Amino acid sequence: DGLIFERGQDNSTPTLINLSNVICDNNRRNGCSVIDINSFTFNGCEFSNTNGTAPQAGLDIEPGIVTRLVSNGTITNCRFINNAVRGLDVQGLNGYIQNLIIDTCIAKGNLAAGFSFYQCSLPISLSNSVSDTNNSGALDNAGIYITDSIGLNITSNISINNIYSGIAVLGTSSEILISNNQSRNNTRHGIYVASSDHSVVGNYCSLNGYNGIYGYDLVNSVINDNKCYSNSQTTDNTYDGIQLSN
């Protein structure tokens, strides 16, 4: 890894970390791995061209065991560019992630999702960020990809030119807020959302290959005040501005 944050030999957690204007380029495993950390800020950094051996993310936030905790973090003005798998990969499968804010970041040209969240729970937010031309390797289902997560806020982002969908919420995810995003010119759906208790509000979806918004097997969810224009113009199949199915 280019950088790694983990407990030291004295079992102490890295605390009050400020990483600013750092470039992690052409590393073999991850540009940066965050395993155990408390109160951190990453600002103006770039994580690019990671390739070689899994997981091959630009920035991988993944507390690996139940005794590890990633908490009270802010990631701003960072770039995740041309990584062999995901740009920003946030996974709460084994440990815990609390109070994570991602704002004004760019993920572009990654072979899987630009921003990926797996088994995460609130409060985590992604806002004012851009996912552009990701998932060309068709490894995930979207530029912004959320699966098996609870209570995330995905707000005021732009997701464009991605393979598959601009934003996808899959698996057992629930209580995801998707609001005021723009999802344009993605090869499949602008927004694909499945499962229960979601809010899809105030989004703008246009020029996507399939539906503007596709809701699959939704339960107790709100879809309100969205604008869907000129979707499914590049296929002979029948799609819609908003389509709900089960």
Cβ-proximal residues to 136 (8 Å cutoff; 6+ apart), any chain: 109, 111, 163
pLDDT of residue 80: 98
> Position of tokens 């997981």?
55
Can you tell me the distance from the alpha carbon of 96 to that of 227, in angstroms, rounded to the nearest whole number?
Answer: 36
DSSP bridge partners of 34: 5, 61
Q: What is the pLDDT of residues 175-221, one digit of tens each?
A: 999 999 999 999 999 999 999 999 999 999 999 999 999 999 999 99
pLDDT of residue 120: 93
Q: What is the mean pLDDT of the chain?
A: 94
Q: What is the pLDDT of residues 146-180, one digit of tens each?
A: 999 999 999 999 999 999 999 999 999 999 999 99
pLDDT of residue 246: 83
Q: What is the pLDDT of residues 59-109, one digit of tens each?
A: 999 997 888 889 999 999 999 999 999 999 999 888 889 999 999 999 999
Q: DSSP state, 12?
A: P
Confidence (pTM): 0.95
pLDDT of residue 240: 84
pLDDT of residue 93: 83
pLDDT of residue 236: 66
Residues in the chain: 246
Q: What is the pLDDT of residues 28-58, one digit of tens each?
A: 999 999 999 999 999 999 999 999 999 999 9
Q: Quote the distance between the C-alpha of residue 233 and its chain's center.
A: 27
